[in-house]
Chains A and B, each alone.
Chain A
Amino acid sequence: MSEMTTEKFETYAKNAGEPRWFTEKRSAAFDKAKELPMPSFQKIKYHRWPIQLEKELVFSKSELDENEKSVIDDSENLLIEFGQSTDTIKISEELKEKGVIVADLKAALTEHRDLFERYYMQKAVKVDENRLTAQHAAKVTSGALIYIPKNTIIEKPITTYFIQDATKAEDYVHHVLLIADSCSEVSYLENLLTVGNNETTANIIVEVIARPGSHVKFASFDRLGENTTTYLNRRGYLEQDAKIDWSMGMMNDGNIVGDFDSDLIGNGSHAEVKVVAITTGKQVQGIDTRVTNYGKHSIGHILQHGVILAKSSLIFNGIGHIIHGAKGADAQQESRVLMLSTKARGDANPILLIDDNDVSAGHAASVGRVNEEQLYYLMSRGLPKKLAERLVIRGFLGPVLTAVPSISVRKRLSDMIEEKLIDGQENE
């Protein structure tokens, strides 16, 4: 590493109050990044995008104004971060007593070092997996640690808002580490947003460690900005009998690679992945969703539906990989894409990789256009075309929405879909 860079890292560490051990990790990752290849996803051609983290590491502060805060729904357990700054952290007394931790990156590094270090890019995502993960480790500037202790059942969800500050021309590099300890249960709602219009790069990694017997209901509402180019990696690491329900709404406005994996390590572990995506304008959303069955009798199900408007592109890869020895494993997937315009491009690409015989696996995929007969019927009752289209789309997305376990998440998702569709139709 050049002295220049070392100096920048040290200046950053000083300003951010970062402990030495973490700065050393950064330096090592920075050197490694140069040698590592970019990750590769079938049919997703992102290599020309400004997706690599090339800006200097700089410490900065951001403050949300009242207007920007108006999009935030208050809740009992809430973490709001804007850019590199933390706006709000609060959890109920009950959760505090139970030993639940909700901390920002700085507190994670200083106050919860042992826990954080044990899991941070150790189990789920590895630093040296590819160039983007290594760049992430070198340049991460915000994030969160959420820890649910053993046998703790949390009734009220933990809600986070991670808001990229694109009023500044800086990279947004964010890391979330969620650990559900043995036999715990938690609902987690994550909101990714952008304020500002600068051309920026975001690199976001979310690691979910589901310890034996735990159950994580993970919901995300992603609406990153039009000028933000994003690598978004969400990875679950599931131990014995653990379960993760992923419900993800990809409503971003810019180019994005979604790299969603569930590693079914433990026997009897179970991941349900639901993805809804709306693609508008000229953007590309490439979504690569994988489940890997290592454990015996593990279950990995993928259900993803998406709608493409205007000149945009949406690619769904669904990958079910059953490793040799995963007897009785089950990998199922369904990816469907609906195109609303002749200029839209869509792909639904099923991939099954099966290295054991005693398993069950299946896939379904389709790319289609909106049903003219349905549209005509709705319009024949006086509904304007755009509204009729939105209703047909709602029907198309219905199977994913009804499969989302939480009613409030379902409601939030359908509101977001409506909002994104209206915006998208206006720009057509």
Chain B
Amino acid sequence: MSTLEIKDLHVTIEGKEILKGVNLTMKTGEIHAIMGPNGTGKSTLSESIMGNPAYKITQGDVLLDGESLLDKPVDERARLGLFLAMQYPAEIPGVTNAEFIRGAINARRPKEDPISIRKFLKELSKIMNFLDMTDEMAERYLNEGFSGGEKKRNEILQMMMIKPKFAILDEIDSGLDIDALKVVSKGVNEMRGSEFSALIITHYQRLLNYIVPDVVHVMMGGKIVKTGGPELAKKLEDEGYAGLRDELGLDIKLTDENA
């Protein structure tokens, strides 16, 4: 079993404090969801855990099995078992999807023992089939010209091929139609097990009908303000973020709140 621990995390971007002391502990085998209104720091949290150099951590720590990740670059964190399905995956012309994924797998293996191409292609084809992706997607350049839905599926494909210990899914549901949403959920559910944990970041409860979380956190104003079970998500859907805020007596302005 592995543990990912976020302790009193403070993060600033361009001098502005976005995260104001986030605490969160996840163990493999658990699915967590973070819900929260727009502009509350959900993406900042995911990028900071992954190690995006654009985000500056001013206080606190991120620990994997007790070891701090803060001085490790993003590629090392990835090889230690972290994965971030990005909201806006970059397009890389000239590099095919298949060779990229194979490179990512081989980066985790000893140099003298790369995965056999045959075995790799078999696995790739199996998972693409599972995610309703056409074979030609393997030979297309990485995310280049992919539709929004194709990009999200491709993130899940990478996750399933790489098999991380901790996967953070940053608004994987945004811009997806219901069919794509089901496919993406199917992928995450397939990964469920004692060696896998996911942190699902979302604005909407809808996704959590398909991926039922063990733990739900609500984030507002750069902090986690409430933690509970799946019923918390349902409650939010009914009462809205403003309702919860008022119930908790928090003094936070919601950016998408009508004045």
- Interface residues, chain A, CB within 8 Å of chain B? 371-374, 376-385, 387-388, 391-392, 394-398, 401
A379 CB, min distance to chain B CBs, angstroms: 4
Task: Establish whether residues B75 and A382, one from each chain, have CB atoms under 8 Å apart when the complex forms.
Answer: yes
B240: Cβ under 8 A from any A Cβ? no
Q: Which residue of chain A has its CB nearest to the CB of B84? A: A380
Q: How far is the CB of A5 from chain B (nearest CB, A)?
A: 53
Complex interface: chain B residues within 8 A of A401 (CB): 94
A377 and B90 form a contact (CB under 8 A): yes
Q: A376-B53, A376-B74, A388-B75 are in contact. Are A382 and B104 (CB under 8 A)?
A: yes
Q: Interface SS of chain A: helix, strand, loop or mixed?
A: helix
Q: Do B103 and A395 touch (CB < 8 A)?
A: no
Residues of the A chain whose Cβ atoms lie less than 8 Å from the Cβ of B91 = 374
Whether the Cβ atoms of A395 and B94 lie closer than 8 Å is yes
Q: Which of B50, B79, B100, B162 is in CB contact (< 8 Å) with A378? A: B100
The reply to whether A384 and B92 contact each other, CB–CB distance below 8 Å, is no
Interface size class of B (residues with CB under 8 A): 20 to 34
Within 8 A of A (CB), among B2-53: 50-53
- Residues of B within 8 Å of A388, CB to CB, are 75
B250 at the interface (CB under 8 A from A): no
- Give the docked Cα–Cα distance between A394 and B101 (Å): 16
* B90 adjacent to A374 (CB under 8 Å): yes
Q: In the bound complex, how far is the Cα of B101 from the Cα of A396, in angstroms?
A: 19
**What separation, in Å, do the CA atoms of A392 and B89 have in the docked complex?**
14
Query: Does B242 count as interface, using CB distance less than 8 angstroms?
Result: no
Report the separation of the CA atoms of residues A395 and B104 in the bound assembly, to the nearest whole angstrom.
Answer: 17
| Closest CB pairs A-B (n = 6) | A395-B94, A398-B94, A382-B78, A377-B90, A381-B104, A379-B75
Complex CA gap A86/B73 in Å reads 52
> 15 interchain pairs (CB within 8 A)?
A377-B86, A380-B51, A380-B78, A380-B86, A381-B100, A381-B104, A381-B107, A381-B162, A382-B104, A382-B107, A382-B108, A383-B75, A385-B75, A388-B75, A396-B94
Q: Chain A residues near B89: list those with CB within 8 A.
A: 377
Closest to A378 in B: B92
Q: How far is the CB of B171 from chain A (nearest CB, A)?
A: 16
Are A374 and B92 in contact, CB atoms less than 8 angstroms apart? Answer: yes
Min Cβ gap B107→A in Å is 4
Bound-state Cα–Cα, A398 to B93, Å: 7
What mask results when residues 127 to 155 of chain B are scored 1 for a CB within 8 Å of chain A, else 0? 00000000000000100000000000000
What are the residues of chain B within 8 A of A383 when measuring CB–CB? 75, 103-104, 107
Give A33 to B91 CA distance when docked, in angstroms.
Answer: 53
Which residues of chain B come closer than 8 Å to A387, judged between CB atoms? Answer: 103, 107
Contact call B78/A381, Cβ cutoff below 8 A: yes
Among B74, B78, B92, B101, which residue has its beta carbon within 8 angstroms of that of A391? B92
Q: Is the CB of A395 within 8 A of B107?
A: no
- Chain B residues near A371 (CB-CB < 8 A): 90
| Residues of the A chain whose Cβ atoms lie less than 8 Å from the Cβ of B93 | 395, 398
Q: CA A376 – CA B89 in complex, angstroms?
A: 10
Given contacts A377-B90, A394-B94, A396-B94, 20 further A-B contacts (CB under 8 A): A372-B53, A376-B74, A376-B90, A377-B86, A377-B92, A380-B86, A381-B162, A382-B79, A382-B162, A383-B75, A383-B103, A385-B75, A391-B100, A395-B92, A395-B93, A395-B94, A395-B95, A395-B141, A398-B94, A401-B94
